């Protein structure tokens, strides 16, 4: 069934790119998370260009490793127009094995971190609600998928309806949100029900309009299955960028110091051949 | 049906009383709302005693009329032990007529006020949630009752589980609360669905443990029906004290200025004869 | 001093008007608060036109009296383009007497209502903060003015930076807001410090860009002084529309039932002669 | 100067212990963080006893390494009375070097994590407030210390005044809290001002009443200085347990699955010789 619904394109080449432009008004340090994760496959080629008013910044860009293969690029920029251009070609060398379900969630350090309440996923505040609202969802290995399906049914997808301070509580009350909000609500409910869950930034071929996308990884046995409560792109074509507790960890650009304003962003990603189908129930893992 | 389920005891005498003790540490002004509403029936006898360290306060207690027959008693107290004792006997002279249902809610000034978002009933924040969560409740005259039933089924009654800053959102998330919280959630959902609703402080024979009680009044036609989402006391035996948008308006004691701590409170209320039954669906109005 | 700083233009004519356009998608009931308060002066002429797709609505507009001379117009509209046009000419017949300061705030029913925590002014939640942050402000009759001055110094005026669910807490944290947010924060801090305060919607000649404006009324003795924490328009030229606890009570348009979207709004107001100066410290009362 | 104010007791033995009792009502998994960090010194002896109704649990306790030497013990417990007993003796082998100040904060992966908004430290929501409220604090290496001093001056230490869902915003508004709340507020303000900061659970000789304690680590150059906004215990005597973004990461006991209630906790910690003095300004690092 897995192979029918969500065929992985082992050997197929994924091309991803993004262009970001910022207005920097005081000397600033930014953390970028746009590069594909080191685990995402064979990186056939990759380029990251950074310029301020057309010139290279004085201080070179540095790369810092973070969770699950994530790579943060730290950029020091003087005031001016900061332009970021990234592109990469990645070949998936093998299909990530679908994690084997177990009756109980396996508790290790990763799982403990993914059970904790976080900035936008305050699972501690939502425990009472989750227990009653989702009392009819079957416990066990399919619970996270049922939660993602509940979120899909429940929320209206309205990009721009939320703001950056919104938590999963705000999303629940509003009944609408963007991909980030859908995933935050699913993660919060999973954690409140005892299922470790975390957020993954991805390049998502087929997403329309094209943009950075955010999906959920939920613990399945000792591995992780990927879930997209928006159902906007097939999961087997996603390419991982960053992995974290919620949007605080995986933003494509974070201003660490200084005054910076995002002027524009453009994302593109294509995959060789046709986009696979996705029923959004079959377990899929992400490289 | 009405007369079967919730017989009013016209002519029966209701006796209510409360004793409150406060520690006043700086000169203070308190607003008390413990006296029965002027509309609650014939007040056969009534007494309000106020003392600080056993002596009458220098400034006499004044009475101020408020909404729906409510009476606020303003107390000026110097530092010391402030003791409040109230008792009254009330005879209901006629059964308050059950309001006649209409297809649409009648919009007048009272209804507009009872549709507005308020401190503990932020219906504006919960509009999206209410629309989806309660999509299956039949619209029309029975909607408020269905909302109260949903709250009754949904929440666990756990006195002491909430704090005074909690709104209906906190109650929804926690899944538990006291009578105030049950009513706040029902009011918020009613307003979010277009039904005017407000909070009423009452003496409630049969409540156990005995205390001040808070119930909901929801618009029915051009009148108001009383609903108790806790189902802890029969509605036809309730005696109205104060009426307002939420707990901000009907607290039994509000410190307007100064430092005051409540040390103890004791409430009692009895009604002649047996307590009536209440199915909590038949429409009942409150005098 | 009063007559120097903020001369009232007794006899001068104020002309106010607004045009509102809404898209009504399901049969709707709206509460409009655009008409000048009945206490605002001699209404020399006034006109309120309502049309849906160019035709008069089937159900006539009704007027409901509310607090402090406010007038709510209830509009029933079928789906279509709803156009509202209002204009009035008002002559101030006498300068509203500046309230006489007293050492203690006078506590009556109006004052008690204006001390209560409300939807956007959660003074109960901010009591600890207000006591410490504003410990140096002199208590007594000038306290409300000092609070308004603190808000003026503290916040950046950034229309559009807030959203309709924001409370005074959000404004405090953001450090920025619109006139509504400035006033909400001042009101909340006043209440937390024991000074009754409320919100007033006004026509404000001199405001730029022109729009509906919101200012504060704070208790002074047994009266009310008007304060504008934004200092964007002279207080003596304001014309009162609606008065309430916070924006929940004084919105120029509230959708009571149905689906309605505001498409455009235009406000204009002029006053005979030059705009008066305003030092924003001299006590001024509003008719 | 350092040696005067906050002498480290190299070679001195620290003895720490705690006893916890829980009521487990459904099969549960707990994460304990009570063991001293592996970096805290030479662990001379250590014992962790776990029993349910007096018997060892069927599944052995496992240890998981976490950030900065932290050790999580995962306990699987069947229903019954769960008793945890931990004790350790630690000898500090060398004084942790005080980090060297640099003009700019050094940005590495640890610093980036400690700049992120988190569950109880929503620095994104408080950025506007921090910029204006703390505008007079000198920027540079002393900023974190000034923030901690501001929190010390600002808040009242009132254990029990907060609840477990409270964030730094709630603490700021209430003006009071426990050690956790003091540290959360300091961390949030530091991050909002661009200084990486995180929370450390410690054993704190001299704390009264004795309990688990929580303090702040703020980035200084490429290291971390420890700050205690409560000033309740000398920093040089603290022994690190766990390190994280906020209380979500360092709780002494977290229920991962199942129903568990804490019945009692007892903490003790002593240090050879007299407690050192602490001026709470001299930079101190934690082993």
Q: Residue C68: which residues within 8 A CB-CB, separation 6 or more?
A: C37, C39, C240, C243
pLDDT at residue B34 is higher than 90? yes
pLDDT score at B105: 81
What distance in Å separates residue C62's CA from the closest CA in chain B? 9
Best interface-test mutation with D: which of C117, C175, C182 has the largest number of D CBs within 10 A? C175
Does the beta carbon of D31 lie under 8 angstroms from any beta carbon of chain A? yes
Would you call B119 and C117 a contact, using CB atoms and an 8 Å cutoff? yes
Closest CA to A37 of A272, A266, A236, A200: A200
Mean pLDDT check: name the lowest of A88-102, C4-18, C90-104, D246-260.
Answer: C4-18
**How far from chain centre, in Å, is Cα A266?**
17
D83-126 residue pLDDT tens? 999 999 999 888 888 999 988 888 999 999 999 999 999 999 99
pLDDT in the model for residue B60: 94
Query: What proportion of chain B, given as a percentage, has pLDDT over 90?
Result: 88
Interchain contact C74–B (C-beta under 8 A)? yes
pTM of the entire predicted model: 0.95
CA–CA separation, D154 and D163 (whole Å): 19
The whole-number pLDDT of residue C9 equals 63
Cβ <8 Å between B165 and C256: no
C186: three-class secondary structure by DSSP: helix
Q: Which residues of C touch B117 (CB under 8 A)?
A: 119, 248
**What's the farthest any 2 CA atoms get from each other in chain D?**
59
- Per-residue pLDDT band for A94 (boundaries 50, 70, 90) equals confident
Helices first, then strands: H and E counts in chain C: 7, 14
- CA–CA gap between residue D61 and residue D78 (Å, rounded): 13
List, as ranges, residues 203-232 from A with C-beta within 8 Å of D. none
Asked if pLDDT for residue B159 goes beyond 80, the answer is yes
The CA distance from B116 to B125, in Å, is 12
Q: Which of C131, C154, C175 sits opposite D175 (nearest CB)?
A: C131
The pLDDT of residue B3: 34
- Smallest Cα distance from B41 to chain A, Å: 41
Task: Tell me the average pLDDT across B44-55.
Answer: 96
Q: State whether B129 and A172 contact (CB < 8 Å).
A: yes
- The mean per-residue pLDDT over the stretch A208-236 comes to 96
Residue A193 has pLDDT above 50, yes or no: yes
Question: Using 50, 70 and 90 to split pLDDT, how confident is the model at A196?
Answer: very high
The reply to whether B47 touches chain C by the CB within 8 Å rule is no
Report pLDDT for A9: 63
Chain D residues whose beta carbon lies within 8 Å of the beta carbon of residue C132? 154, 175
For chain B, the average pLDDT equals 94
How many CB atoms are located within 10 Å of the residue A231 CB? 16
> Is C108 near chain B, with CB under 8 Å?
yes
B125–A contact, CB cutoff 8 A: yes
Go through B240-250 and write b for each residue having 16 or more CB atoms within 10 A of its CB, e for each that does not.
Answer: bbbbbbbbbbb
- Cα distance between residue D3 and residue B190, in whole Å: 66
The answer to whether residue C158 neighbours chain D at the CB level (below 8 Å) is: no
**Amino acid C59: pLDDT:** 93
Q: Nearest residue of A to residue D65 by CA position?
A: A109
pLDDT of A198 over the 70 cut:
yes
Query: If you measure CA to CA, which chain C residue comes closest to D129?
Result: C173
Task: For residue A244, give the nearest of A199, A214, A213, A202 by alpha carbon.
Answer: A199
C174 near D CB under 8 A: yes
CA atoms within 13 A on the CB side of D55: 7
Tens digit of pLDDT per residue, chain C (287 long)? 233 344 556 678 999 999 999 999 999 999 999 999 999 999 999 999 999 999 999 999 999 999 999 999 999 999 999 999 999 999 988 888 899 998 888 899 999 999 999 999 999 999 999 999 999 999 999 999 999 999 999 999 999 999 999 999 999 999 999 999 999 999 999 999 999 999 999 999 999 999 999 999 999 999 999 999 999 999 999 999 999 999 999 999 999 989 999 999 999 999 888 889 999 999 999 99
| Chains in contact with A via at least 3 Cβ–Cβ pairs below 8 Å | B, D
C220 Cα to chain D: minimum distance (Å): 26
B114 close contact with A: CB closer than 8 A: no
Using pLDDT thresholds of 50, 70 and 90, give the confidence band for residue A207.
very high
pLDDT confidence tier of residue B9, bands split at 50, 70 and 90: low
C66 touches chain B (CB under 8 A): yes
Query: How does pLDDT run across B110-139, given as a tens digit for each residue?
Result: 999 999 999 999 999 999 999 999 999 999
Nearest CA distance, B10 vs chain C (angstrom): 32
For residue A192, give the chain B residue with the closest CA.
B173
B245 and B201 Cβ atoms separated by less than 8 Å: no
Alpha-carbon distances, residue C90 vs C36, C237, C257, C285 (angstroms): 8, 12, 32, 17
Which one of D29, D66, D194 has the shortest CB-CB distance to A109?
Answer: D66
- Is the pLDDT at D272 greater than 90? The verdict is no
Q: How far is CA C192 from CA B25, B257, C109, C120, C124, in A?
A: 18, 9, 18, 13, 7
**DSSP characters over A45-108:** EEEEEEEETTB--SSPPEEEE-GGG-EEEEEEE-SEEEEEEEEEEEE--SPPPPPPP-SSPP--
Q: From C175, which residue of chain D is nearest by alpha-carbon distance?
A: D128
Q: Are A248 and D116 a contacting pair at CB < 8 A?
A: yes
| A231-274: pLDDT as tens digits | 999 999 999 999 999 999 999 999 998 999 999 999 999 988 88
pLDDT tops 90 at residue B286: yes
For residue B11, give every residue at least 6 positions away whose Cβ sits within 8 Å of its Cβ, in sequence order, or none: B91, B92, B93
pLDDT value at position A8? 55
**Is A257 within 8 Å of chain D by CB?**
yes
- The distance of A64 to chain D (nearest Cα, Å) reads 6
Closest among C44, C43, C37, C46 to C17, alpha carbons compared:
C46
Chains near D with 3+ CB pairs less than 8 A apart are: A, C
Cross-chain Cβ contact D172/C132 below 8 Å:
no
The confidence score (pLDDT) of residue D8 equals 55
Residue D2 has pLDDT above 50, yes or no: no
Is it the case that residue A14 has pLDDT exceeding 80? Answer: yes
Distance from CA of D32 to the nearest CA of A (A): 11
Number of CB atoms found within 10 A of residue B139's CB: 12
Cβ contacts (< 8 Å) between A260 and chain D: which residues?
Answer: none
Distance of CA B218 to the CA centre of its chain: 12
- Say what angle helices C143-154 and C179-192 make with each other, to 10 degrees: 140
Q: Report CA torsion sign: D47, D50, D53, D58.
A: negative
Q: What is the pLDDT of residue B92?
A: 86
Q: What is the pLDDT of residue B50?
A: 97
Report how far residue B187's alpha carbon sits from residue B182's, in angstroms, rounded to the nearest whole number: 9
Listed range (A220-224, B8-12, D156-160) with the worst mean pLDDT: B8-12
pLDDT at residue C240 in the model: 98
- Quote the tokens at residue C88: 């009035």
CB contact C126 to D (< 8 Å) = yes
Average pLDDT over residues D44-72: 95
Query: For residue B8, what pLDDT is reported?
Result: 55
If you average pLDDT over every residue of chain D, what do you get?
94
Determine contact: C134 vs chain D, CB below 8 A: no
From the candidates D162, D175, D176, D182, which should be mutated to test the interface with C, based on the most C CB atoms within 10 A? D175
Query: What are the beta bridge partners of residue C267?
Result: C18
Minimal C-alpha gap between B257 and chain C (Å): 6
A chain contacts of residue B174, beta-carbon cutoff 8 Å: 125, 128-129
């Amino acid at each position: 069934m897995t192979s029918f619904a969500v065929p992985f394109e082992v050997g197929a080449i994924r091309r991803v790119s993004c262009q970001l432009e910022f207005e920097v008004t005081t000397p600033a340090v930014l953390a970028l998370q746009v590069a594909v994760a080191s685990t995402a496959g064979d990186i056939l080629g990759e380029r990251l260009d950074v310029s301020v008013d057309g010139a290279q910044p004085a201080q070179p860009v540095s790369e810092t490793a973070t969770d699950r293969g994530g790579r943060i690029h730290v950029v020091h920029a003087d005031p001016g127009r900061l332009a970021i251009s990234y592109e990469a070609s990645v070949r998936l060398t093998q299909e990530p094995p679908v994690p084997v379900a177990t009756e109980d969630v396996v508790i290790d350090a990763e799982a403990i971190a993914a059970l904790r309440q976080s900035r936008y996923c305050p699972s501690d505040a939502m425990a009472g609600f989750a227990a009653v609202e989702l009392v009819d969802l079957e416990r066990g290995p399919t619970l996270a998928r049922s939660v993602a399906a509940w979120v899909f049914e429940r929320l209206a997808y309205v990009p721009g309806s939320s703001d950056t301070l919104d938590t999963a509580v705000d999303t629940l009350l509003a009944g609408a949100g963007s991909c980030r909000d859908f995933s935050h609500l699913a993660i919060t409910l999973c954690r409140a029900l005892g299922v470790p869950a975390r957020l993954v930034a991805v390049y998502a071929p087929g997403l329309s309009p094209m943009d950075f996308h955010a999906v959920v990884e939920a613990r399945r046995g000792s591995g992780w299955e990927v879930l997209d409560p928006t159902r906007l792109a097939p999961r087997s074509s996603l390419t991982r960028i960053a992995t974290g507790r919620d949007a605080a960890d995986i933003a494509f650009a974070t201003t660490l110091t200084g005054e910076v304003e995002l002027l524009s962003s453009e994302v593109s990603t294509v995959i060789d051949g046709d986009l696979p189908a996705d029923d959004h129930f079959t377990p899929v893992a992400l490289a």
